[in-house]
Structure 1
Amino acid sequence: MASSFISALFKRYMNGSLVLQIVIGIVSGVVLATVAPSLAQSFAFIGTFFVSALKAIAPVLVFMLVMASIANHKSGQQTQIGPVLGLYAIGTLIAALSAVLFSYAFPSRLDLVTSNVAQAAPQGIAEVLYNLLFNMVDNPVAALVNANYVGILTWAALVGIGLRHASGSTKVVLHNLAESVTSVVGYVIRLAPFGVFGLVANTVATTGLEALLGYSHLLMVLIGTMLFIALVTNPLLVFLMTRQNPYPLVFQCLKSSGITAFFTRSSAANIPVNMALCEKLKLDEDTYSVSIPLGATINMAGAAITITTLTLAAVNTLGQTVDLPTAMLLSVIAAISACGSSGVAGGSLLLIPLACSLFNISNDIAMQVVAVGFIIGVLQDSAETALNSSTDVLFTAAACHSKDQ
């Protein structure tokens, strides 16, 4: 009787709204820290456990996703949807560059436990490129153990290219392994409500409610950048492709695709919605049947914004000075990394350590930044997914309409 009750309770929790659960975790943490600060600090271990779980799974996730994605890539796919892929790449890069500009214009700071630890800032773009080059050829096992994400990304790409000529059954196994790791990540992220509860309770009890409210500035920078992309740069790209007023199409995509994606927080889950919208818009089926599922994986402007903004917030918190060439390199890395975001809610946050490694920021501090991302993810991840998913249809429609000109 008791076991069946626990099983039913667990199932209900796993099927419940992650957004609502995180909101409950935040509110509960604030209340506990306000009523009983000493007790709240004792729950810090829950937040530490959650962050440790993220640190453990993130390197494996990046390695498996990138390797499986490259190995299972089908030849000839790019030539069918070249204009759409071009828009995906340009749009994501513009999003990362815009995030740099917004971060410079409205610098953010984070309340990190080890923010007082001195970090050796790279001395310009030359040192960054030097470190990047040698991190790429790190021992692959050491790269996984030490969370060297540049090395992980490099070896995953090389092994994936080597497996392009593997048998179909081998590629299926790789795909299944990647799906399995993604499922594990899903379970880890399901710990977010408890982890956020512990982090918020300890933060508020230690530094006061002002620390939590301080994230509102970071959230406004993130969402402001996403709105800029959705309402300014994306319409400009569509206009350059179609030479027509882009806003009717932009608003239709935001209404029909963006709203549902905002609440599902999953580009993959929003694929059927996007397919139906493409059919309604009478787009070329041979194009959208490929571009929409592919866009749910690689068209990640919102993720590029998140990775760039949070990384620069960490850099600013640690008092580092970043020159413009290095910031531009970060934009490129963020745009490429965004394409490797997992299909689960909050997947882009797990790629922040890769960007942080460019600035010699330790993995321990980088994962604290990831934890901050989960705290603000109630709105940030929803807005990110809405931008990503609606842009899939927008750029597909723009490419199809350009052929009719």
Structure 2
Amino acid sequence: MFVKNLFAYWNKVSLVKQIIVGLIIGIILALILPKQLAGLSILGELFVGALKAVAPVLVLFLVMSAISQHKKGQKTNMKAIIILYLIGTFLAGLSAVIASYIFKVQLILNAGEENISAPDGLVEVLKSLVFNIVDNPVSAILNANYIGILTWAILLGLALKYASESTKNMILDISVAVSNIVKWVIKFAPFGIMGIVFNTVATNGLKSLLKYGQLIVLLVGVMLFVALIVNPIIVYIKIRKNPYPLVFKCLRESGITAFFTRSSAANIPVNMALCERLNLDKDTYSISIPLGATINMAGAAVTVATLTLAATHTLGINVDLPTAVILSFLSALSACGASGVAGGSLLLIPLACSLFGIPNDIAMKVVSVGFLVSVIQDSCETALNSSTDVLFTAAADISSKAKM
């Protein structure tokens, strides 16, 4: 009875609090019984293994479904909004790249680092990119070739736009089912994090956590820069008036809620209600808000670019300027496929890591580091993503009405 009540109480506790508990327990056990409980690290290995299994399928069906569901002939401001989404996401990724060049943060990665060799140059990177794009779809999924998976997801999504509604609904149902599986996996995040933290602290000591502190400061700093500097500039160019009242309203009424739900998908009803209060065009925001929860991922672009470059700094891979620009585009592209559930963007880090020849096993270690800092990172990321959905929708609507 006691165990049943404890389990029921645990399920009522938010994921953020559960992860914090996992962090604390992992640190305490690593400091007190590092050798006696060495087997505890298997929890982290199982968690990372589950992520590796579900991530390729998630990317394929989520992106394919999002593209296939788009309908033609609706008179909306969608073109302008999509352009704002893409520009905002790209500039967020570029901001992260620049910040990561200035403040070089390294990660604690255990095995396999010495086997990594840097690409010889941009030609080798582009050659690898092209061959990954034309990879067999089955092979791409089996080998976790995320660039190939994303390419096939886009092509299949475009082709399925002409399919029957029943087929589109089936693809949508599968994407929802896979997203549910991701939610189930992430429910085990506290235990996986406990195992990862235990292994990290037991192996490297508490000093290893200082690296994560630096990473959190860099991630949150870039996201604040995007929210308070980059996005207002984009909105000002669009509406030609002071953007900050709208920016702060979106952050206050959408961002705060998203911060605690940690899910762009869960925040869709909140954003729809805010759009209604702002008197925006319903035909527009009824499409742009759900779509934004999938493709407008400035925070995800920041996360992907920052953690990828942190991995290259750790592994001693030199990134030249042209490759950094490609990373900005790739971060924006991969972010557009980020799941609307908590921690969804972390599963897309291997896509960016593959640009530099970083193997999937090492890339998934980077993902596990992302989950270690996700208590803060994912909340800030979701707040930026979701509030920007309303911000850019409102900017396009205001601009359209001003021209009438």
Q: How does 1:138-149 map to 2 (within 5 A)?
A: 138-149=135-146
Q: Which runs of 5+ in 2 are unaligned?
A: none
**Which residue of 2 is the match for residue 20 of structure 1?**
17
Deviates more, 1:8-17 or 1:115-124: 8-17
Q: How does 1:3-402 map to 2 (within 5 A)?
A: 6=4, 10=7, 12-76=9-73, 80-114=77-111, 116-402=113-399
**C-alpha displacement of 1:337:** 0.7
CA distance in 1, matches of 2:345, 2:11: 21
CA deviations 1:234-284 (Å, max 9, x no partner) are 111111111111111111111111111100101111112112211222222
Q: Which amino acid aligns with 2:296?
A: N
**C-alpha displacement of 1:156:** 2.0
Checking the alignment, whether the CA contact within 8 Å between 1:78 and 1:85 is kept in structure 2 is: no
Q: Percent identity?
A: 60
Checking the alignment, whether the CA contact within 8 Å between 2:48 and 2:364 is kept in structure 1 is: yes
CA distance in 1, matches of 2:188, 2:19: 9
**C-alpha displacement of 1:137:** 1.5
CA distance in 2, matches of 1:384, 1:77: 31
CA distance in 1, matches of 2:342, 2:67: 22
Q: Which amino acid aligns with 2:41?
A: A
Q: What secondary structure does 2:106 align onto?
A: coil
CA distance in 2, matches of 1:31, 1:104: 34
CA distance in 1, matches of 2:179, 2:23: 25
CA distance in 2, matches of 1:130, 1:183: 36
Deviates more, 1:39-48 or 1:201-210: 39-48
Checking the alignment, whether the CA contact within 8 Å between 1:41 and 1:206 is kept in structure 2 is: no
Deviates more, 1:16-25 or 1:146-155: 146-155
CA deviations 1:34-60 (Å, max 9, x no partner) are 111113432111101110111111111
Q: Residues 11 and 298 of structure 1: is their aligned pair in 2 closer, same or farther, counting only changes over 3 Å?
A: farther
Deviates more, 1:165-174 or 1:72-81: 72-81
CA distance in 1, matches of 2:70, 2:114: 43
Q: Which amino acid aligns with 1:44?
A: S
Deviates more, 1:33-42 or 1:230-239: 33-42
Q: Residues 54 and 77 of structure 1: is their aligned pair in 2 closer, same or farther, counting only changes over 3 Å?
A: farther
Q: Residues 276 and 79 of structure 1: is their aligned pair in 2 closer, same or farther, counting only changes over 3 Å?
A: closer
Q: What secondary structure does 1:37 align onto?
A: coil
Q: Which amino acid aligns with 2:335?
A: A
CA deviations 1:330-359 (Å, max 9, x no partner) are 110110111101111000000000100000
Q: What secondary structure does 1:38 align onto?
A: coil
Checking the alignment, whether the CA contact within 8 Å between 1:29 and 1:40 is kept in structure 2 is: no
* TM-score scaled by length of structure 1: 0.96
CA distance in 2, matches of 1:78, 1:120: 51
Checking the alignment, whether the CA contact within 8 Å between 2:105 and 2:211 is kept in structure 1 is: no
Q: What secondary structure does 1:404 align onto?
A: helix
CA deviations 1:76-100 (Å, max 9, x no partner) are 4586422111111100000000000
CA deviations 1:339-398 (Å, max 9, x no partner) are 101111000000000100000101110000000000100000000000011111111111
CA distance in 1, matches of 2:395, 2:37: 52
CA distance in 2, matches of 1:194, 1:63: 27
Checking the alignment, whether the CA contact within 8 Å between 1:92 and 1:300 is kept in structure 2 is: yes
Checking the alignment, whether the CA contact within 8 Å between 2:66 and 2:294 is kept in structure 1 is: no
Q: What secondary structure does 1:39 align onto?
A: coil
CA distance in 2, matches of 1:282, 1:66: 30
Give the length in aligned residue pairs.
402
Checking the alignment, whether the CA contact within 8 Å between 2:56 and 2:141 is kept in structure 1 is: yes
Q: What secondary structure does 1:108 align onto?
A: coil
**C-alpha displacement of 1:117:** 1.9
Checking the alignment, whether the CA contact within 8 Å between 1:115 and 1:318 is kept in structure 2 is: no
Q: Which amino acid aligns with 2:40?
A: F
Q: Which amino acid aligns with 1:190?
A: K
Q: Which amino acid aligns with 1:251?
A: F
- RMSD across aligned C-alpha pairs, in angstroms? 1.6
CA distance in 1, matches of 2:74, 2:345: 25
Q: Residues 78 and 138 of structure 1: is their aligned pair in 2 closer, same or farther, counting only changes over 3 Å?
A: farther
Q: Which runs of 5+ in 1 are unaligned?
A: none
Checking the alignment, whether the CA contact within 8 Å between 2:140 and 2:149 is kept in structure 1 is: yes
CA deviations 1:113-164 (Å, max 9, x no partner) are 1253231211222111110111111222111111111111122222222222
CA distance in 1, matches of 2:69, 2:352: 26
CA distance in 1, matches of 2:244, 2:271: 18
Q: Which amino acid aligns with 1:397?
A: A
